[in-house]
Amino acid sequence: MNGSNPSLVSAIRGPVMLITLGVLLAMDHNGTISFGRTWPVLLIMFGVFKLAERAGAKSA
């Protein structure tokens, strides 16, 4: 199984983003760190997944 397979990356992008969102909101709810300071993590993760998709598409 190739780690940069575009279909695999597409398949896990949604669940990973939802898990990350849940963790960030839980941290905000517990008062650990404000969601207002951590929401850019979601944008960074989305960008990483898009880069992985493109890298996988070029190697295929």
Q: Domain range spanning residue 15?
A: 6-59
Span between the terminal Cα atoms of the chain, in Å: 13
Residues 12 and 38: their CA atoms lie apart, in Å, by 21
| Helix or strand (DSSP H, E) at 17 | helix 6-30
Q: Which two tokens stand for residue 47?
A: 């960008």
Given this model, what pLDDT does residue 1 score?
Answer: 46
Given this model, what pLDDT does residue 3 score?
Answer: 54
CA-closest candidate to residue 60, choices 5, 1, 9, 7: 5
* Ramachandran assignment for 31, one of left (phi > 0), alpha (psi -120 to 50 degrees), beta (any other): left
The answer as to whether 43 is a domain residue is: yes
- pLDDT, tens digit, 9 for 90 and up, residues 21-58: 999 999 999 999 999 999 999 999 999 999 988 887 77
Structural domain count, the chain: 1
The answer as to whether 52 is a domain residue is: yes
The answer as to whether 1 is a domain residue is: no
The answer as to whether 47 is a domain residue is: yes
